[in-house]
Amino acid sequence: MAITVNSPYEVDGTDLIVTEEALQFVEELHARFATTRADLLKKRAVAQEEAAQTGTMDFPAETAQVRSGDWVVAEQPESLADRRVEITGPPVPAKMAINALNSGAKVWLACLEDALSPSWRNLIDGQKNLYEAARGTLAFTSAEGKEYSLREDVPLPVVVVRPRGWHLPEKNIAVDGERAIGALVDFGLHFFHNAKVLSEKGTGPFYYLPKLEHYLEARLWNDIFTFAEERLGIAHGTVRATVLIETIPAAFQMDEILYELRDHASGLNAGRWDYLFSIIKYFRASGSDFVLPDRAQVSMTQPFMRSYTELLVKTCHRRGAFAMGGMAAFIPNRREPEVTARAIEKVRDDKSREAQDGFDGSWVAHPDLVELCSEEFSKELGDKANQIDRQRDDVDVSAEDLLNIGAAQGDVTEHGVRMNLYVAVYYTAVWLSGNGAVAIHNLMEDAATAEISRSQVWQQIHNGTVTADTEVPITTELVEKLLGEEVDRLREEINDPEAFGKYFEPAADIVKELVLTTDSYEDYLTTPAYEILR
Ligand SMILES: CC(=O)SCCNC(=O)CCNC(=O)[C@H](O)C(C)(C)COP(=O)(O)OP(=O)(O)OC[C@H]1O[C@@H](n2cnc3c(N)ncnc32)[C@H](O)[C@@H]1OP(=O)(O)O
Ligand SMILES: O=CC(=O)O
Ligand SMILES: [Mg+2]
């Protein structure tokens, strides 16, 4: 096997991160695991087709014994015992990484996935910042002269790194002439450089695993962890992983996923945004019962979403694992107190409900939300670090409950279609400019939320959904017209012809192709966008 770096861009820090030894490790991961990954991706396509045809799904028959068996995951490490508040964000730019580490959260989810645009620069900068964070040396001075350094007065959050999902390639590295696998590059570089340092401190290496669609994908990660630990001489079970249950098939395999990873498992997380995206994707062509209301109306209290979170808490606690809550999208604005007040109220409600339901902690997207999340969980936890001992034997969730999507309350409106188009174009443009997360109308938008937006429109056209406000069917002609109007609106608001031409116009082209090509469906918005990402 031969591994080569073929990026046309020179980025400071490349010499530190892309060393010969680190590349060799990434190559070894590909040699051992690339074929299994390819097979599992094919399996995803078959499962999707079956769901679309049948309009249903069930708990796997072959793993009934795993679900009924009496087993628990390995004992949790001390450094991850208290996860009541986790701040998420990309590890770039450095000031953002430092702000996350100084935020007072217990954990920083350093995101190389939903919140990162995976340009070569971001990949190197992100790995470099994680390298320095692991060694406590991360510091930064902004162009305005503001100095950023790590706090010394309080323990810093434990870092949990989220590599890319299995589907994404890394175009700047080739293995035997083929694009490398994004997940193996992200994990491989981070693990190679930091696993020893972190394990000696007892604070890692820890990972969040995104977008799994089958328990065999968890087995693959477990095999990778076992190999990586052996290869670097680190004790088996040092790696800990929290798996995002953010696809509809994974919701039917929570026990199985924990079981596969039982030596390396920390917990499961309710990744609500990708979960909604996955429901739309799997059942996009299964009829109007699967058409959700406008995105803004699909709250966590909709019955099918509650079933999902209740089952997650029950499963985790039965298996001695953490149940982690998800992301409320409301973002405070330091310049607009009324926006902040609303965000605080909404996020507090969300965290309070999660804490009462039995979650052990949850996510926030902004440093100004850390304290309220901590407060809401502390009310439930008292003097305990977590509530894993709280069994939810009262919960009984069936396949029908998880799939009770048609019962969702709310409407599809033309306003909602417009918002989806606006957000999909705006987010894609920001992603192409190198930022993977952005506040739009005071809501956090990232790859997962943008996927919902563009997929809803595709599904509404496919099903000829009729809008509740204007009472017209959603057709390709209507969407083309609305898209044109929303792009015009963005052009006016952005008021920067150069940026508009460079990022928004290509973004609008991508979104147009994705939503109007109704005889086929692109699995990920970021797949075509990655082809033109610089
Ligand atoms: C579906 C999912 O996967 S959810 C998880 C993935 N998504 C994320 O992680 C998104 C995380 N959040 C963010 O990226 C940001 O909060 C955004 C983009 C939504 C908003 O960012 P901004 O517009 O910069 O917010 P704002 O101007 O209020 O920031 C104020 C300060 O807080 C910092 N800040 C904001 N969010 C974060 C964060 N998540 N982590 C660290 N620092 C942050 C900013 O860097 C800024 O610092 P400064 O005062 O030193 O310049
Ligand atoms: O990754 C989290 C999600 O909600 O998606
Ligand atoms: Mg996600």
**192-246 residue pLDDT tens:** 999 999 999 999 999 999 999 999 999 999 999 999 999 999 999 999 999 999 9
- 304: nearest Cα among 212, 379, 404: 404
Res 115: pLDDT: 98
Res 518: pLDDT: 87
- 338-348 average pLDDT score: 98
- 505-534 average pLDDT score: 97
Residues 325 and 390 in one domain: yes
pLDDT of 410 above 90: yes
The answer to whether residue 382 sits within a structural domain is yes
Distance CA 275, CA 452 (A): 9
> Domain containing 156 — which CATH number?
3.20.20.360
What residues form DSSP beta bridges with 139? 149
Residues 388 and 422 in one domain: no
pLDDT of 7 above 90: no
Ligand 1: does its nearest atom lie under 6 Å from the Cβ of 339?
Answer: no
Ligand 1: does its nearest atom lie under 6 Å from the Cβ of 432?
Answer: no
Average pLDDT, the chain: 97
The answer to whether residue 6 sits within a structural domain is no
Residues 292 and 376 in one domain: yes
Label residue 364 by pLDDT band (50, 70, 90). Answer: very high
Residues 440 and 394 in one domain: no
- 166-176 average pLDDT score: 98
Q: Tell me the H-state helices in 233-302.
A: 248-251, 254-260, 272-282
Residues 395 and 434 in one domain: no
**Ligand 2 neighbours (beta carbon < 6 A):** 114, 244, 246, 271-274, 326-327, 448
Which of 88, 114, 209 to probe ligand 2 with, by most ligand atoms within 8 A of CB?
Answer: 114
Q: Which atom of ligand 2 is nearest to the CA of 327?
A: 4
Q: Which atom of ligand 1 is nearest to the CA of 97?
A: 41
List 82, 186, 350, 446, catalytic entry: 446
- 320-349 average pLDDT score: 98
The answer to whether residue 326 sits within a structural domain is yes
Q: Which atom of ligand 2 is nearest to the CA of 114?
A: 1
The model's pLDDT over 129-150, given as tens digits with 9 standing for 90+, comes to 999 999 999 999 999 999 999 9
The answer to whether residue 3 sits within a structural domain is no
List 37, 162, 319, 454, catalytic entry: 162
The model's pLDDT over 458-467, given as tens digits with 9 standing for 90+, comes to 999 999 999 9
Residues 385 and 484 in one domain: no
Angle between helices 20-54 and 215-232 (to 10 degrees): 170
The answer to whether residue 250 sits within a structural domain is yes
Residues 120 and 187 in one domain: yes
User: Which residues span the domain enclosing 270?
Assistant: 22-54+62-400
**Would you call the peptide bond into 337 cis, given omega within 30 degrees of 0 as the criterion?**
no
The answer to whether residue 16 sits within a structural domain is no
Q: Which of 400, 428, 446 is the last residue of a domain?
A: 400
* Cβ-contact 334, 340 below 8 angstroms: yes
Residues 359 and 450 in one domain: no
**Known catalytic membership, residue 491:** no
Q: Which atom of ligand 2 is nearest to the CA of 277?
A: 5
- Tell me how far the alpha carbon of residue 89 lies from the centroid of ligand 1, in angstroms: 7
Residues 262 and 156 in one domain: yes
The model's pLDDT over 266-299, given as tens digits with 9 standing for 90+, comes to 999 999 999 999 999 999 999 999 999 999 999 9
Q: Which of 378, 400, 422 is the last residue of a domain?
A: 400
Label residue 154 by pLDDT band (50, 70, 90). Answer: confident
Res 8: pLDDT: 87
The answer to whether residue 295 sits within a structural domain is yes
At residue 91, the 3 state secondary structure works out as coil
Residues 394 and 422 in one domain: no
Distance CA 96, CA 112 (A): 13
Which of 243, 362, 446 to probe ligand 2 with, by most ligand atoms within 8 A of CB?
Answer: 446
- 355-360 average pLDDT score: 98
174: DSSP letter: E
> Domain containing 520 — which CATH number?
1.20.1220.12
Res 69: pLDDT: 98
At residue 455, the 3 state secondary structure works out as helix
How many domains does the chain fold into? 2
Res 348: pLDDT: 98
* Cβ-contact 260, 215 below 8 angstroms: yes
**Known catalytic membership, residue 231:** no
- 431-446 average pLDDT score: 98
Ligand 1: does its nearest atom lie under 6 Å from the Cβ of 306?
Answer: no
Q: Tell me the H-state helices in 319-367.
A: 337-357
Q: Which of 376, 400, 424 is the last residue of a domain?
A: 400
- Tell me how far the alpha carbon of residue 211 lies from the centroid of ligand 3, in angstroms: 7
Res 487: pLDDT: 98
Res 30: pLDDT: 98
pLDDT of 1 above 80: no
Res 51: pLDDT: 94
The answer to whether residue 201 sits within a structural domain is yes
Residues 352 and 439 in one domain: no
Res 87: pLDDT: 98
Residues 510 and 462 in one domain: yes
